[in-house]
Structure 1
Amino acid sequence: MRIQAGRVSVHYVEHGTGRPALILHGARVDHHEVEACFEPILEDVAGLRRIYPDLPGMGRTIAPETMRCADDVLDTLLRFADEMFGETAYLLVGHSAGAYYARAMAAKRPARVLGLALVCPLLTALRDIPEHRVVAGSGEIGDDIFRGYFVIQTPEMLERYERHIAPAAALVDETAFERIGRQWALAVDREPAYPGPTVIVAGRLDSTVGYAAATDLLDHYPHASLAVLDAAGHALPHEQPELLRALLTEWLARIERG
């Protein structure tokens, strides 16, 4: 499905009906990765409409030449939410770069976001990023991207990578990706703190964004829970699905109470 968000025709898929939830994927993939990771958790939640868009320049959402920085992507995502949900408030979930944009969306329109979930969030001030280390498997299967992404390198994880992640590589608009990446910093850390129910989940072995900077976010979100998971890297949603399910279930319960 598609919807026009300003100058961008955004491709998305959706499941279910009811209260909306917007789930944003990371860089160099498309909606298939977060759909594969979060749908098994969220499909069991009654009355939840799950929306998975392709971010501009990835998947089947084309980034026009006028899109030149992260603020342009953010504007597109805000317009997308306006077109999809109108004045209805929604849940917001992001993985990696998707979490980066989710933070900015919640900062811009806190009253429209019922709850914020940040998984392995990309941040502007990363620190103490650990070296990549394999904790399960031989470390000799899959391609270089798989071996640098997953810390659990079993045949099951390789199947998930080859099915839900690798096909998106051919769909990345490298020219747009480089153009936007030259001005990728957002002003989210200078925005007022998002006051709603928040959960932050990081992988202790995440060699892409680390976990240390994610712990700093507790000072920015007054109602945040934080979990740093061992035996998990940047592919945490694949590697620790049951722990992620438990954390998101508790977050959803806080939203209901809120």
Structure 2
Amino acid sequence: MNLAADRSAAAGPEVVCLPMFSMTRTATATAFRPALAGANLRETYLDLPGHGDSPATCPPTSQALLDTVCAWLDHHTDAPVLLAGASYGAYLAAGIARQRPDLVRGLLLVCPGITIAPASRTLPDHRPPPGPTGWLDDAPTELRTHLDTALGHRTPTVVATVLAALHSGGPGDDTFLQTLRTGPGYALPDEATDTPYHGPVSVLTGRQDGIVGYADQFHAMRRYPRGAYATLDAAGHYLPFEQPALLRALTQDWLHRTLTAPMPGHTTAQRLRDNGRHG
């Protein structure tokens, strides 16, 4: 439950954002803050165990990380909260909605992993359109293959933005992360379970995402009776940095749907007061 967090002081509803694998709350804020701007939300960005500045105080399994986030939410928030995540953070957020729907008022999943094993993912058949000559020249050699696979919007500016995010925030625990990623507990035990979550959901994917794809996410929409799905052209796995304007537009739609939806256990009068206070 000892997680590093950045929390804004706004008086509105709380949105909790979870990072991509090995990335930090600083990078998550860079990705999501422009999309959430103007909504008077209390924005919270967490470092998962072993990520950024959060110590690795739990076993190296995805279920242990999920349980740690749930315990933090139970202790530090007036749940239910709006829950957002990208990639692995979205994988965990979806797991929280399955296992602890009482904690989640609405769910924003950006380039979510659906199955954790790479061999089980449905990936795009076609390569992204080529970028300009030299678009990867400023990337470290060891990251070029990854970025070539991950990015759909292939420009030097996008590469620089992604590299800055990858290197921002605390150091993390590389040994813990490697053990998590290669261990038998990397997949959540209920990963394939189609337990429905009935709150407002938006699932955003990149058409050229060579890491998790976009097709598995569409098939998983059966889990979300109130779900919206979008796949964006010229976007890959780092969609928030590749298409920030579209991310903002779709996030604002999700916020409207979520903040005007009935709160669990709320009366009509309470909902009207909440909507008037939070816009």
Answering whether residue 76 of structure 2 is matched by residue 80 of structure 1, we say: no
Within 2, Cα distance between the matches of 1:180 and 1:128? Answer: 23
Matches within 5 A, 1:1-258: 5=1, 9-17=2-10, 18-46=12-40, 48-64=41-57, 66-86=58-78, 88-124=79-115, 125-130=120-125, 133=128, 135-138=130-133, 139-141=135-137, 142-144=139-141, 145=143, 147-148=147-148, 149-167=150-168, 171-181=171-181, 182=183, 183-186=185-188, 187-190=190-193, 192-258=195-261
State the distance in 2 between where 1:130 and 1:122 align: 18
Identity of aligned pairs, percent? 30
Do 1:132 and 1:206's aligned partners in 2 also have CA atoms closer than 8 Å? no
Describe the shift of the 1:34–1:68 C-alpha distance in structure 2 as closer, same or farther (beyond 3 A): closer
Question: Which of the two has higher C-alpha Rg?
Answer: 2
Going from structure 1 to structure 2, the CA distance change for 1:112 and 1:28 (only over 3 Å counts) comes to closer
TM (norm. structure 1) is: 0.88
Specify every segment of 5 or more residues in structure 1 that has no aligned partner in the other structure, as ranges.
none
Which whole-Å CA distance do the structure 1 matches of 2:251 and 2:162 have between them? 23
Q: Contact 1:32/1:165 (CA < 8 Å) preserved in 2?
A: no
1:226 deviation in Å? 0.4
AA matched with 1:128: L
User: CA 1:135/1:235 → structure 2, altered by over 3 Å: closer, same or farther?
Assistant: farther
Tell me which stretches of 4 or more aligned residues in structure 1 moved more than 6 Å: none
Distance 2:191 2:125 in 1: 25
Q: Does the 8 Å CA contact 1:130/1:205 hold for their aligned counterparts? A: no
Q: Secondary structure at the match of 2:256?
A: helix
For residues 60 and 88 of structure 2, the distance between their equivalents in structure 1, rounded to whole angstroms, comes to: 16
Report the Cα distance in structure 1 between the residues aligned to 2:59 and 2:129, rounded to whole angstroms. Answer: 37
CA distance in structure 2 between the partners assigned to 1:255 and 1:140 by the alignment: 39
> CA offset at residue 26 of structure 1?
0.7
Q: In structure 2, give the amino acid aligned to 1:59.
A: G
How many residue pairs get aligned? The number is 247
Greater percentage in strand: 1
Distance (whole Å) between structure 2 residues aligned to residue 151 and residue 207 of structure 1: 9
Please give the TM-score of this superposition, normalised by the length of structure 2.
Answer: 0.82
Unaligned runs of at least 5 residues, structure 2? 262-279
